[in-house]
A and B are shown apart, each in its own frame.
Chain A
């Protein structure tokens, strides 16, 4: 009853529909979903953990140690820069805000804050905590993002925060460029977003179309779920003992399975091996699967 206890703790969660699998419900999709997804429910506005998105690192080659190395440097340079940079801040503050229209015009406020303590180049993403943390810590906790102000740029914390934010967004944009094909030539946020929207719509339409195709072309003779399984497996298998692994993996076999094993899998697979060698190679290349690695079901 883990799901029910979870519901009491998080009444406003997005997963409310999922939590009501009454004993009468015919389909219990909680079975296939890891329990982690129910228990770890971070607030939407506070998703800061980059490990949530494992693919981004691969596509992006993010070097996470960069941000850590700035930690020590920030601490050592703070005393040196506060004295000399105070004059610069007064000059640079207004200028940087005018350059980038998105930074709020807080000239007067920025100056007063910068005089008090730009003690760390520390910056947490949530703005509400800035004023508390500013004068306090020397060893920052790990979720802080450490940025070093470059020469000739404003060093007050607000513009630093803005710069960090902008860099993050541009980094994301770069990753998106790698993911979305044909996005290299495009510059500017609006056009990039256009491409992304286009791509997502295309993929969703493809899913619709393919599911329609699968629904219509699968032979009507077989039962609904089993014919697709046969097809899915034949598209992956490299070994003739697919039938045994399949039955071992699926304890809830419908009575039609024995006939399925007799007819479709072995038969069509043999045919694929004999006659359609070329096509099979095409499938394997296209799917990029390792033939042996698929046989292991959890």
Chain B
């Protein structure tokens, strides 16, 4: 179990570095902290979904969602707006139609889970939703582990460079 998990993390790291570079070229410097954070999060989301790169709903939904944020040319933005609206409308109608009178706690919770997992609203079958959630959790955990490690190294190197000054 651990070996595939490590492979997941390695895959994620490779993709993350690549996406960071790509974003780096496309964004104007200097960035303030919020912009940096958004770029880091965006790149890591894209990397996570790309590392999965299978036929899971969540990875494709995440890519499409992230793809909206990277476009900064007017033509691309206009085209993306159309697709984005389509996706958004589906989600919105789903939310409007429920002031969902949840028949039981399970129903309410599955609705909530659908809103959490990217692309979850589009999955009708509860069985598939749970499968998607499982897969998503694995990759999410890998993302968190990698970021935590990097942040820890960051603090250590910060201390070391401060000491040397």
Residues of A at the B interface (CB closer than 8 Å) are 14-18, 20-22, 24-29, 31-34, 36-37, 40-42, 44-45, 47, 52-56, 58-59, 165, 168-169, 172-173, 175-176, 179-180, 189-190, 193-194, 196-197, 199-201, 203-204, 206-208, 210-219, 223-226, 228-229, 231-232, 234-236, 250, 252, 254, 264, 268, 271-272, 275-276, 279, 282-283, 286-290, 293-294, 297-298
Closest 6 CB pairs of A and B: A225-B24, A215-B36, A215-B37, A16-B83, A193-B109, A190-B105
Are A200 and B113 neighbours in the complex by a CB distance under 8 Å? yes
B contact residues vs A (CB 8 Å cutoff)? 1-2, 4-6, 9-10, 13-27, 29, 31, 33-34, 36-37, 39-41, 44, 46-47, 49-50, 53-57, 59-61, 63-64, 66-68, 70-73, 75-76, 79-80, 83-84, 86-87, 104-106, 109-110, 112-113, 116-117, 119, 122-128, 130-131, 133-138, 140-141, 143-158, 160-161, 164
Residue of A nearest to B160 (CB): A271
**Contact between chains at B149 and A286 (CB < 8 Å):** yes
In the complex, chain A residues whose CB is within 8 Å of the CB of B63: 15, 18, 29, 33, 37
Q: How far is the CA of A36 from the CA of B10 in the complex (A)?
A: 20
Q: Across the interface, do B56 and A52 meet the contact criterion of CB distance under 8 Å?
A: yes
Instruction: Determine which of B5, B10, B49, B64 lies in contact with A294 in the assembled complex, contact meaning CB atoms within 8 Å.
Output: B10
**Complex CA distance for A279 and B157, rounded to whole angstroms:** 11
> Are the CB atoms of A224 and B106 closer together than 8 Å?
no
Known: A172-B130, A173-B130, A214-B151. A193 touches B76 (CB 8 A): no
B127 adjacent to A289 (CB under 8 Å): no
B163 to chain A, nearest CB (A): 9
Residues A207 and B59 in contact, CB atoms below 8 Å apart: no
Complex interface: chain B residues within 8 A of A31 (CB): 22
Chain A residue with Cβ nearest B126: A169
Whether A29 and B70, one on each chain, are in contact in the complex, defined by CB atoms closer than 8 angstroms, is yes
- Residue on A nearest B86 in the bound complex, by CB: A16
A15 touches B149 (CB 8 A): no
Is A17 within 8 A of B64, CB to CB?
Answer: yes
Partner of B16 from the list A56, A210, A232, A234 (CB cut-off 8 Å) is: A232
Residues in A neighbouring B144, C-beta threshold 8 A: 203, 206-207, 210
Residues of B within 8 A of A297 (CB): 14
Complex Cα gap A250–B53 (Å): 21
Q: Pick the contact of A213 from B113, B146, B151 — CB < 8 Å?
A: B151
* Given A204-B116, A216-B33, A289-B10, A24 and B76 contact (CB-CB distance below 8 Å): yes
Best-buried of B31, B141, B153 by chain A (most CB within 10 Å): B153
Report the nearest B residue to A228, measured CB to CB. B20
**Measured CA separation A261–B57 after assembly (Å):** 40
Tell me which residues across on chain B come within 8 A of A287, comparing CB atoms.
9, 145-146, 149
Q: Are the C-beta atoms of B26 and A58 separated by less than 8 Å?
A: no
**Residue from A47, A201, A279 with most neighbouring chain B CB atoms (10 Å):** A47
For A233, the closest partner residue in chain B by CB is B17
Are B13 and A232 closer than 8 Å at their CB atoms?
yes
Give the chain A neighbours of B133 by CB distance below 8 A.
Answer: 176, 196, 200
A224 — which chain B residues lie within 8 A by C-beta?
Answer: 20, 23-24, 27, 29, 31, 36, 39
Q: How far is the CB of B117 from chain A (nearest CB, A)?
A: 7
Asked if A197 contacts B116 (CB within 8 A), the reply is yes
- The answer for the CA separation of A228 and B63 in the assembled complex, in Å, is 22
Provide the residues of chain B in CB contact with A298, threshold 8 Å.
14
Most buried by A among B5, B66, B126, B130: B130
- B140 to A16, Cβ gap below 8 A? no
Take A29-B63, A224-B31, A232-B13 as given contacts and tell me if A211 and B40 are in contact as well, using a CB distance cutoff of 8 Å.
Answer: yes
